[in-house]
Amino acid sequence: MKRVRVIPVLGINKGRLVKTVKFDRPAYIGDPLMAIKIFNDKEVDELIICDIRASRESRDPDYNMLQDMASECFMPIGYFGGIRKLEQARKIFDLGIEKVGLSSAFCENPQLVSELAGNYGSQSVVVVLDFNKGIFGGQQLTAFSGTKKFKRTPSEAARMAEDAGAGEIVVQNISYEGTFKGYDIDLVHAVASAVRIPVVALGGASGISDFSKAIKAGASAVAASSQFVYNKNDTRSILISYPSQEQLKKELYASL
């Protein structure tokens, strides 16, 4: 049986748990610490905590909140958001969080990825690639919550991340985020086939059948947000959920 990681992503903005659609209109979901306790009880494979506006607003990571979260979490945790310097990453690792994700910093200064990998090992550095439609068609790499564009195709950006020393890539199409229309499978395939490192699909998943499609397109793991915080994918009803081991075995692992 092949196991793949299924990773809930929690969006944080100024200490509140939020959920966006296409990176826009952050809706208040609840208390992040409470959500993390529930995800811990549900024995999730791994967790990603993402401060969605930290880079855009040049804010430091909220170390106090992250420390409270890390002491409630007995699974691997990745933190994304606002990391521009080695020193910030070191503080995060010292809290008991083992991965940091770089998006804006990778686009502007890929050398930071190399420095982090050199000091803490590749497994501690995730590069987050957010794509959006370019003005002339095709996919364009973006950063700072989608507000800044870079001239890189998906396969170019993926190879750059791998060459810089990233241990993993998280890839998403911003126009799919929060829509429940499934992952951008072509994008997942383009990135996964360009590199040897594990690729994690994010953005748009509505359920286990989407996970299966992403893995078949070459992803090593899947991540999602909306479906784990909304009840039956209804954005009017908040419910923290996660599939049981039995469900994952029967509906996901068995399909691979």
Partner 1 sequence: MSIVILDYGLGNLASIKNMLRKAGAQSIISADPAIIAGAAKLILPGVGHFEAGMENIRNSGWLDLVNQKVLVDKIPVLGICLGMQLMAGHSEEGDVSGLGWFDARIVKFRQEEIGSLKVPHMGWNEITLKQSHPLFPDIHEEQRFYFVHSYHWVCNTEADQLAVTNYGYDFTSVVAKDNIVGMQFHPEKSHRFGLAVMQRFVQWGQE
- Which DSSP state fits 62? -
Q: CB of 3: closest distance to partner 1 in angstroms?
A: 5
Half-sphere exposure of 161 (CA within 13 A, CB side): 36
Q: Pick between residue 28 and residue 74 the one whose CB is nearest to partner 1.
A: 74
- Among 211, 75, 70, 83, CA closest to 143: 83
- 45 annotated active-site: no
Kindly list the residues in this chain that would bind partner 1 in the complex (CB under 8 A): 3-5, 40, 43, 45-46, 70-71, 74-76, 93-96, 98, 120-124, 167-168, 196-198, 220-221
Residue 82 contacts by C-beta under 8 Å, 6 or more apart in sequence? Answer: 51, 54, 55, 58, 59, 60, 61, 88
Chain centre to alpha carbon of residue 50: 7
Q: Pick between residue 234 and residue 256 the one whose CB is nearest to partner 1.
A: 256
Q: CB of 253: closest distance to partner 1 in angstroms?
A: 11
233-253 burial, b if ≥16 CB within 10 A, otherwise e?
eeeeebebebbeeeebeeebe
Q: Pick between residue 197 and residue 229 the one whose CB is nearest to partner 1.
A: 197
Q: Pick between residue 18 and residue 83 the one whose CB is nearest to partner 1.
A: 83
Q: Pick between residue 48 and residue 197 the one whose CB is nearest to partner 1.
A: 197
Please pick, among 51, 130, 184, 210, the residue that the annotation labels catalytic.
130
Q: CB of 103: closest distance to partner 1 in angstroms?
A: 20
Q: CB of 137: closest distance to partner 1 in angstroms?
A: 32
Q: Which residues pair with 206 in a beta bridge?
A: none
Residue whose token pair is 């951008």: 184
Q: CB of 164: closest distance to partner 1 in angstroms?
A: 17
Decide the pairing of beta strands 168-173 and 125-133: parallel
- Among 173, 163, 119, CA closest to 142: 173
Active site members: 130
